[in-house]
Chain A
Amino acid sequence: INAEYMGIVELACADGCAVSMKLLLVVLFSLIALSDARRHRRARAAPSPYRFSEEELQQTSHEDLVDILLHRNGIPAPETPEEPAIAAAADNYPPIWPYPAKFSNGTASVTVNPTGFKFTAPESDRDLRAAFERFERLFFPHRAAAGGTISAVQVTVSAFNVQLQLGIDESYTLDVPMQGPIRISAGTVYGAYHALQTLSQLIVFNFDTQLYTIALAPWHIEDRPRFTHREVLLDSSRHFEPVQTIMNLIDSLTYAKVNVIHWHIVDSQSFPFDSPSYPLLGKMGSWSAQERYTIFDVQDVVEYARERGVRIMIEIDNPGHAGSWCKGYPDVCPSVQCPEPLNPATNATFDLIDGLFRDFTGGARGGGVVFENLMHLGGDEVDTSCWSSTPAIAQWMKDNSLTPDLTYEYFVRRSQAIAHAQGRDVVGWEEIWNHFGTQLDKSTIIQQWLGGSTIAQNATAHGYRVLWSTDGVWYLDGLTTTWATMYSQEPCTGIPDNLCDMLVLGGGGEMWGETVDTSDIQNTIWPRLAAIAERLWSPRDVTDLSAAKPRIASFRCLLNRRGVMAAPINNPTARSAPPGPGGCLVQ
């Protein structure tokens, strides 16, 4: 073992043994592997529930893999969707966005009585009760005449206290009868929320009769998402996005069953997070004194999202996109003039990363302020020239026989080891796959983003899980990308069905914040994110743009009625104003 590496390990311990012995060993072995990379590489780090050899992958049955990978143990696999039984004349059919996996309906109109409308559930659950209050307002936005045939919804949930994580059961069934109570059954409260969202779209106020009605009853809907991870990326570094802005965004996400905020919380431009462990990061790195999040703010966002079935996945992009770290802690950067990638030659960098991650994770799987088990480590756009041009780092690389790319690998792996030791699975941008491929821990989730990239095919073929958010088609900062283009993408193109089902977790729309603040974040995101949401939720064969158009127009009007600043669907450029007077359905 190279004495230098031993020194690193000893230093880590001398600093208070903040890292577990397991992590030390992992780092140690990783470093051994790196130091002798050309002879043999040791790919594996901490134990992972998702580790398969390619042989194992081939030998395990498809069904078992789905259960294992999506934590579906004990939950029966959903049935294959069938074709809708009735093709109704109405254009906005079915009047549900995103399109449900399976449904049938009739031709009658039933009325719903808003006066004394009852939400009932066999068990009393705080989250469910809070949801009932929210949905009552969504169901009945207008004062109405008394009366209506249906006056209750009965909600049955199989398992309460299921922590909101990747792969939890979000399925539901919804029955709207001709009379008697509406019935919802779901595996979890999260499934129940989706059922209530669907129901909120079916209940329509009739201005002529002043009654709430459901058209085309009876409805029988069996619904579940095609992909388990349906995100929007929120960038709070290029512009600060206040807590209220994020909470308003969360409300809007739920309307389209988008279930993750991928919170790109810091980047080179600003560091708006007040880390309790490293307070100078936010104090020195934020745009201004008020443009910061306390750890309580983060916790409030996480809780607000959790109550609505939305996961918060934190991204701490490293070693690139980290220039804002230098202001508070100059030691972790190569130099003032050349601030990033972060300095790989000092333990100060990894100590800080460890402490910063722990602010979010609490150090234990499923724990901490951000209990989400996925943590995004970025890893993209690493230009190593600051390493080579900073004498101390260049010398350190030379001493350790590391090329810049090996240094990048070392950094990525050590950062991953820290996240693993805190019980997190790691997500990284596709460069880490492009550079290190199958050298990465098998639990690593690769996020495809480069324009025209097809790495999802390659990565899934090697058993890695992927997220799909390709630049040029699912980047929301691409203002000339229309909803129709977004709608027409297919994350599983070129990927065999079994790998699509178990390794393509989903993806989402990436709202990079260079020109987005509170003033335009909603109208840049909406309505286009709805197109992505339907792609990620609905059956693969729901692809017809002309069928989708009246539905997304109606959904856009619904968003507007709920106060969401969704822009016209027909504008060639995102967030542009309506071209002239007109009804929201035609713009």
Chain B
Amino acid sequence: ASNYPPIWPYPQSFTNGSTTVSVDPNFKFAASMQSDDLDAAFKRFDALFFPHRANNGGVLNNVAIMVQNVTEQLQLYSDESYTLYIPADGTAAISITAQTVFGVYNALQTLSQLIVFDFNTQTYQVSLAPWRITDFPRFKHREVLLDSSRHFEPVQTIKNLIDSLTYAKINVIHWHIVDSQSFPFDSPTYPLLGQKGSYSPQERYSMDDVADVVEYARQRGVRIMIEIDNPGHAASWCPGYPDVCPSTTCLQPLNPATNATFDLMAGLFRDFTGGVRGGGVVFDNMFHLGGDEVDTSCWTNTPAIASWMKQQGFTADQTYEYFVKRAQAITHAQGRDVVGWEEIWNHFGTQLDKSTIIHQWLPGSKVAVAATAAGYRVLWSTDGVWYLDGLQVTWETMYVQEPCVGIPDNLCNTLVLGGGGEMWGETVDTSDIQSTIWPRLAAIGERLWSPRTVTSTDAAHVRMANFRCLLNRRGVAAAPINNPTARSAPPGPGSCLDQ
């Protein structure tokens, strides 16, 4: 095995030669259309391409970028494809073509991995030129789940994470922003949620903080999908607004018997969505409503709720369905498509609106097979194999998963949107989030980007080791790839390539 191709994730198709060509660090980026986003990207990539001071000179000294559309809003179905041509001599410039700026970013990421500093000559080089790469992601949605409730994850921590995601072409943060343990978001509409529900006065996000994260991510081609898990996983809502909870001793699921609950949800959602499709502080058109692990005993145990259910003729499960559907209706009215954890499929199946996206997570689950067969779109992040808080799950295990097992090709292509690695935060704060996520998320990153046939862990091993070293050189705290337990320290002295 060798580090070939020296690109992570593995591109869809490529050819290369055998020439080593030098690159001049006095490098020019030129695009066919003016774009502030592209100009900002060029500055970032210039720093990534040329991390060392070097001798001036080199055969290749510019990249010419043909881009069709520089204003398209970043959404689920945005075109991320690109072509990249690196000539073997100076007769032509490096060239990139892409439909969108997001495709350009992906091309530049690939190029940043091909340009290598040669310490002996103090020059930058691309090996195995000429390169002709035609690349696009196999799946549109390649996420990492970020849990800022079990531990607060500061804005700087999230921005650092976003930088690292782009290196592996991960394009979504599924931001599980609140849960039972804490409510770190300062809702402008319901300010007591954050004031009373956060861990401490500083462990909160202002609305502007969220806007800054969204903008930072957007500039890098990363979507932010907010999850407001309900009606379970919501106990932190109660300190600020006790009415929305069954009682002070039985906090969740949220109270289905009062409009106060749904009013609060509408206001809270609107803080993010602005009430219109593609609008608001978080313009992403997918909104995750959770819906998982709903234990209805607090409903049946709370007399007022029990009596309301009886009045309506609702069983506990029908109440759950009513809640989920009403929460979805609020979200739809604000122009969002709804994502939910697989329990909503398991309980309500085809009763759900056809636009609902089902997120498979239960260990051993095959819900994606059933849901796609019924025409629903799915995300795949199964516990035990793609849960990043599973510290015993190695990158190899993550690498060999296949979201489309048992799903016909046509449904795989149209309805399996992707999935990702879920970084539940029970034991993860700023101190260890990067080393718990990386390098394993890179394995998921390649599964979600690269051709289905690229599955050999033996072939991937050297490439993975190199990519881990690259992450380290860029300051990302990616742990050794050979450790049996995630985020454990290197076992002893050694090269990053061997550990």
> What is A's interface to B at a CB cutoff of 8 Å?
141-144, 204-208, 210, 237-240, 242-245, 247-248, 269-270, 274, 279, 282-283, 287-292, 294, 296-297, 299-300, 513-520, 522-524, 526, 557, 560-568, 575, 577-585, 587
- Chain B 474-498, CB-CB to A under 8 Å as 1, else 0, gives 1111111000000101111111110
B160 contact from A240, A563, A582, Cβ within 8 A: A563
Q: How far is the CA of A256 from the CA of B439 in the complex (A)?
A: 30
Enumerate the 3 nearest inter-chain pairs by beta-carbon distance, A residue then B residue, closest first. A583-B199, A287-B495, A143-B208
Asked if B154 and A563 sit within 8 Å, CB to CB, the answer is: yes
Contact B492 A515 (CB under 8 A): yes
Residues on B with beta carbons closer than 8 Å to the beta carbon of A566: 430-431
Number of A-B contacts (CB under 8 A): 208
Q: Output the residue of B212, B471, B478, B495 with the most chain A CB within 10 A.
A: B495
* A568 touching B120, Cβ below 8 Å: no
Q: In angstroms, how far is the closest chain A Cβ from the Cβ of B394?
A: 16
A571→B493 CA distance, assembly (Å): 25
Q: Which B residues are in CB contact (< 8 Å) with A523? A: 431-432, 435
User: Which residue in B186, B430, B436, B474 is a CB contact (below 8 Å) of A564?
Assistant: B430
- In the complex, besides A291-B496, A517-B499, 10 extra interface pairs with C-beta distance below 8 angstroms are A287-B496, A561-B154, A564-B430, A565-B430, A575-B489, A577-B487, A578-B432, A580-B150, A581-B426, A585-B199
B133 within 8 A of A: no
B497 and A142 contacting across the interface, CB-CB below 8 Å: no
Contacts of A562 in B (CB 8 A): 154, 156
Listed by A's residue number, 13 A-B pairs whose Cβ atoms lie within 8 Å are: A244-B473, A269-B493, A269-B494, A282-B119, A283-B119, A287-B494, A297-B52, A514-B492, A517-B472, A520-B489, A561-B155, A575-B431, A584-B152
Query: Shortest Cβ distance from A527 into chain B, in angstroms?
Result: 9
Contact between B435 and A520 (Cβ–Cβ < 8 Å)?
Answer: yes
Q: How far is the CB of B355 from chain A (nearest CB, A)?
A: 33
Q: Which chain A residues lie closer than 8 Å to B426 at the CB level?
A: 580-581
Most chain B CB inside 10 Å of its own CB: which residue of A141, A287, A519: A519
Q: Which of B160, B475, B480 has the most CB of A within 10 A?
A: B475
**Does B117 sit at the interface, judged by CB under 8 A?**
yes
Q: Give the chain A neighbours of B150 by CB distance below 8 A.
A: 580-581
Q: Mark B150-178, 1 if CB is under 8 A from A, else 0.
A: 11101111011000000000000000000
Q: Name the contact of A518 in the complex, choosing from B149, B156, B477 (C-beta under 8 A).
A: B477
CB distance from B212 to the nearest CB of A (A): 7
- CB pair A294–B473 under 8 Å, yes or no, is no
Chain A min CB distance to B304 (Å) = 30
CA separation between A222 and B425, bound complex, in Å? Answer: 42
Contact A517 B431 (CB under 8 A): no
B-chain residues with CB within 8 Å of residue A564 when the two chains form the complex: 430
> Complex formed: what's the CA distance from A517 to B482 in Å?
14
Which residues does chain A contribute within 8 Å of B199, judged by CB atoms?
Answer: 582-585
Q: Are A560 and B206 in contact (CB under 8 A)?
A: no
Q: Could you mark each residue 83-107 of chain B with 1 if its beta carbon is under 8 Å from any beta carbon of chain A, else 0? A: 0000000000000000000000000
Interchain CB contact under 8 A, A240 and B431: no
**A524 — nearest CB in chain B belongs to which residue?**
B489
B26 vs chain A, min Cβ distance (A): 16
Instruction: Identify which of A204, A292, A517, A520 contacts B119 (C-beta below 8 A).
Output: A292
> Which single member of B52, B186, B438 contacts A294 (CB below 8 Å)?
B52
Chain A nearest CB from B387 CB (Å) reads 15
Q: Contact check: which of B152, B203, B425, B480 meets A517 at CB < 8 Å? A: B480
* Residue contact A141 to B155, C-beta cutoff 8 Å: yes
A109 to chain B, nearest CB (A): 14
Closest partner residue, chain B, to A513 (CB atom): B493
Given the known inter-chain contacts A288-B495, A580-B426, A585-B200, please indicate yes or no for A568 contacting B51, CB distance below 8 A.
Answer: no
CB distance from B210 to the nearest CB of A (A): 11
Q: Tell whether, in the assembled complex, residue A240 and residue B477 are in contact, meaning their CB atoms are under 8 Å apart.
A: no
User: Which A residue's beta carbon lies closest to that of B179?
Assistant: A581
A235: nearest residue on chain B (CB-CB)? B493
Do the beta carbons of B120 and A283 come within 8 Å of each other? yes
Q: Does B469 contact A (CB under 8 A)?
A: yes
Interchain CB contact under 8 A, B473 and A290: yes
| Interface size range of chain B in the complex | 35 or more
In the complex, chain B residues whose CB is within 8 Å of the CB of A204: 202
Is B427 interfacial (CB 8 A cutoff)?
Answer: yes
User: Once the chains are docked, how many angstroms separate the CA of A399 from the CA of B195?
Assistant: 81
B480 touches A519 (CB 8 A): yes
Q: Which residues of B contact A578 (CB under 8 A)?
A: 151, 427-429, 431-432
Interface flags, B411-446, vs A, CB<8A=1, else 0: 000000000000001111111101110100000000
Q: Report B-chain residues with C-beta under 8 Å of the C-beta of A560.
A: 154, 157, 429-431
B341 vs chain A, min Cβ distance (A): 19
- List the A side residues contacting B152 at CB < 8 Å: 583-584
Question: Which B residues are within 8 Å of any A CB, using their own CB?
Answer: 51-53, 116-117, 119-120, 122, 149-152, 154-157, 159-160, 181-182, 186, 191, 194-195, 199-204, 206, 208-209, 211-212, 425-432, 434-436, 438, 469, 471-480, 487, 489-497, 499
- Is A142's CB under 8 angstroms from B122's CB? no
B427 touches A239 (CB 8 A): no
Residues of A within 8 A of B186 (CB): 207
Of B160, B203, B496, the most chain A CB neighbours within 10 A belong to B496
B497 A287 Cβ-Cβ under 8 A:
yes
**Residue among A142, A206, A288, A560 with most chain B CB within 10 A:** A560
Give the chain B neighbours of A294 by CB distance below 8 A: 52-53, 119, 122
Complex contacts, A248 vs chain B, CB 8 Å: 475
When the two chains form their complex, are residues A563 and B430 in contact, meaning their CB atoms are under 8 A apart?
Answer: yes
Contact call A584/B429, Cβ cutoff below 8 A: yes
Contact A565/B120 with A239-B490, A297-B52, A584-B429 known, Cβ cut-off 8 Å: no
B475 touches A242 (CB 8 A): yes
CB-nearest residue of chain B relative to A268? Answer: B493
Closest to B204 in A: A207
**Structural contact, A581 and B52, CB atoms closer than 8 A:** no
Most buried by A among B156, B200, B429, B487: B429
Question: A524 — which chain B residues lie within 8 A by C-beta?
Answer: 489
For residue B200, which residues in chain A have a CB less than 8 angstroms away from its CB?
A: 557, 583-585
Determine if B430 and A520 form an interchain contact, defined as CB atoms under 8 angstroms apart: no
A357 to B473, CA, bound (A): 26
Question: A300–B52 Cα gap in the complex (Å)?
Answer: 9
Q: How far is the CA of A147 from the CA of B454 in the complex (A)?
A: 57
> Contact at B476–A518, with CB atoms within 8 Å?
yes
CA distance A205 to B205 in the complex (A): 11
Query: Which of A513, A557, A567, A579 neighbours the largest number of chain B CB atoms within 10 Å of its CB?
Result: A557
Distance A563 CA – B477 CA, assembled complex (angstroms): 12
Q: A560-B429, A582-B151 are in contact. Are A519 and B208 (CB under 8 A)?
A: no
Could you tell me the distance between the alpha carbons of A300 and B122 in the complex, rounded to whole angstroms?
15
Q: Is the CB of A519 within 8 A of B472?
A: yes
Taking a contact as CB atoms closer than 8 A, the residue among B52, B117, B191, B495 that contacts A240 in the complex is: B495
Contact of B496 among A240, A296, A513, A520 (CB under 8 A): A240
A238 touches B493 (CB 8 A): yes
Instruction: Give Cα distance in the complex from A522 to B474, angstroms.
Output: 15
Contact residues in A for B476 (Cβ distance below 8 Å): 518
B468–chain A nearest beta-carbon distance, Å:
9
Residues of B within 8 A of A520 (CB): 435, 477, 479, 487, 489-490
Contacts of A585 in B (CB 8 A): 199-200
Instruction: Note all chain B residues with C-beta closer than 8 A to A274.
Output: 119
Give the CA-CA distance A520 to B53 in the complex, in Å: 27
- Expressed in whole angstroms, the Cα–Cα distance for A520 and B485 within the complex equals 14
B417 to chain A: closest CB distance in Å? Answer: 30
The distance in angstroms between the C-alpha atoms of A4 and B499, with both chains bound, is: 48
Given the complex, which residues of B lie within 8 Å of A279, measured CB to CB?
120
Q: A518-B476, A584-B199 are in contact. Are A290 and B469 (CB under 8 A)?
A: yes
Which of chain A's residues has its CB closest to B478's CB? A519
